[in-house]
Structure 1
Amino acid sequence: MRFIGGWAPCPAVPADPRHYTHLLAVDVVGFGAPHRDEAIQEELRGATYALLRRAFEMTWLPWDACHVEDRGDGALVVLPPGMPGHLLLDPLAHHLGAMLRHSNRCRSEASRLRLRVAVSAGLVRRDAHGVAGHAVVHLFRLLEAPAFKEAIELSGSDVGLIVGDRMFEDVTGGGGCVERERYRPVHVACKETKATAWLWTSGPGSG
């Protein structure tokens, strides 16, 4: 190794394998309820993915370019870096709500599809097993928060959406197209996570 002026050249800094992006988790409300047999669960899974794909297309989000992990009664969706995060709020939630309101008119109570959706942003690391990082952990703490589950049950909504405080302030701070007044703050306490988040519901479903 040659020395220049008494100093050795610095080694190259390895590229950070993480990337900052927006991510979404979805869960079917009451998926494992006793009145739902495996045939109903299979139909609800198929309907959930079909609705997500269609809602992404309507919102101009590239479903086929997203990283998608199945979670049995739901899914994790990681957007490509650089996609505008505000699209995961009002536009996507409104599209999901409208489609569910329409499709649930033809469903029995046992097969009525209702969704809890969590949205967040942060650094995500991809490895051989999928994706990981504090952002992913925080996302599922939002999704599983008792206050969120209680809110969607009390509202009777077809869709409930919860978004982390930091992302909510980022996408609504400059005005934009998100209807801030449609969201209300909710306290999240789930395992080691204690945080403020923002809740949106689609209103009572038509059943």
Structure 2
Amino acid sequence: MVAPDPLSYWIVLLDIEGFSLRAETAQATLHEELYQVVEFALSRAGLDPGACPVQDRGDGVLILIPVGTSPTKLLRELVRGLEDALVEHHGKYNDDHRMRLRAGLHQGLVIRRGQRWTGTAVNDLARLVDAGPVKQVLARAGRAHLVMVVSEEIHRSVVLGRYPGIDPAAYLPADFVTKHEEPRRGWVTVPGYPAPPGLPADPGESPRDRGSHGGTPGTGGNAGGVGGGADTGSPAPPPTLHVRDMTHSQLAWGDGARAVGGDYVEGSKHVYGSPPAPEDPAPHRTTADGS
């Protein structure tokens, strides 16, 4: 069968933190509420929700936005809309039903066969949203409702344009290596934070650049510095590392901080990446989930 011609879209992916760890009744509520969050956010961005196809992914949704949409308006207003909708949700439910999202934005070609969507851009965005460093940022940002990660293309063409309402200083790079040993970089921001907690302040080289001259991918620049600081109200410890292949594991120590260029596993999903620097202990601790 000949594949249909691909179409270009802005692609949004949302994933609920800790979804698989909730009771089934809570999962059902969160699943239903997510669609209300999406509808509100799309409307806030000036989009007709009926014109934006949505694919259900169980613990999240994939949304295709018409390519003619203003990317600056989409990024600015979509983040605000998601934040406002999640604040409203949090006011209605207890912590068992709290919804926090990892959100991603990319642009590229998608092949559509009904509700089956394929394409490299979709796969790349899924890897960004599921990357270990992105999960760790949300775990550290205890008072945040979402973390947004954008692709390098979006960062270069939209974020660095310094358009109104988009602050480049609020984005920091998150470097990781996929399970197929492909170096990748996303750019992360957390609404309400001057910079995402737990990421290095010095972006250094991209993982692709480091790999080209023998560096260790996944360390993310200056591992001794934390760009976004710590959310002292809800800190998170470094994740438990289960290294499958010690030939890929390398520990770097500096100023009491740890960076790992190895493979760590969370549930059934795993990527290579750099855990955040440990912070001072506090009575309440929040850990990243494996959803």
Range of TM-score over shorter length: 0.7 to 0.9
Relative distance call for 1:31 and 1:127 in structure 2 (3 A) is: same
Task: Give unmatched runs, 5+ long, in structure 1.
Answer: 1-15
Q: Greater relative contact order (Cα 8 A, min sep 6): structure 1 or 2?
A: 1
2:212 match = none
1:12 match = none
Relative distance call for 1:169 and 1:120 in structure 2 (3 A) is: same
After superposition, give the CA deviation of every residue in 1:69-117 in whole Å (9 maximum; x if it has no partner): 1000101001123222223323211221122123313321111111110
Relative distance call for 1:129 and 1:60 in structure 2 (3 A) is: closer
Root mean square deviation, CA, Å: 2.3
Code of the residue aligned with 1:122 in structure 2: it is G
Asked if 1:80 corresponds to 2:87, the answer is no
Asked if 1:153 corresponds to 2:139, the answer is yes
1:202 equivalent among 166, 172, 191: 191
2:41 match = 55
Report how far residue 188 of structure 1 moved: 3.1
After TM superposition, the structure 1 = structure 2 runs for residues 1-207 of structure 1, keeping only pairs within 5 Å, are: 17-33=5-21, 36-156=22-142, 157-177=144-164, 178-192=166-180, 193-203=182-192
Could you list the runs of 4 or more consecutive aligned residues of structure 1 that deviate by over 6 angstroms after TM superposition? Answer: none
Q: TM-score, normalised by structure 2?
A: 0.61
**More helix as a share of residues:** 1
Question: Which protein shows a greater Rg?
Answer: 1
After superposition, give the CA deviation of every residue in 1:11-42 in whole Å (9 maximum; x if it has no partner): xxxxx811222101101100011xx2111111
Task: Give unmatched runs, 5+ long, in structure 2.
Answer: 194-230, 234-291
SS at 2:63 equivalent = strand
Percentage identity across aligned positions?
Answer: 27
Relative distance call for 1:121 and 1:24 in structure 2 (3 A) is: same
After superposition, give the CA deviation of every residue in 1:99-147 in whole Å (9 maximum; x if it has no partner): 2123313321111111110110111111245211100110100111011
Number of aligned residue pairs: 191
Mapped contact 1:146–1:189 kept (Cα < 8 A): no
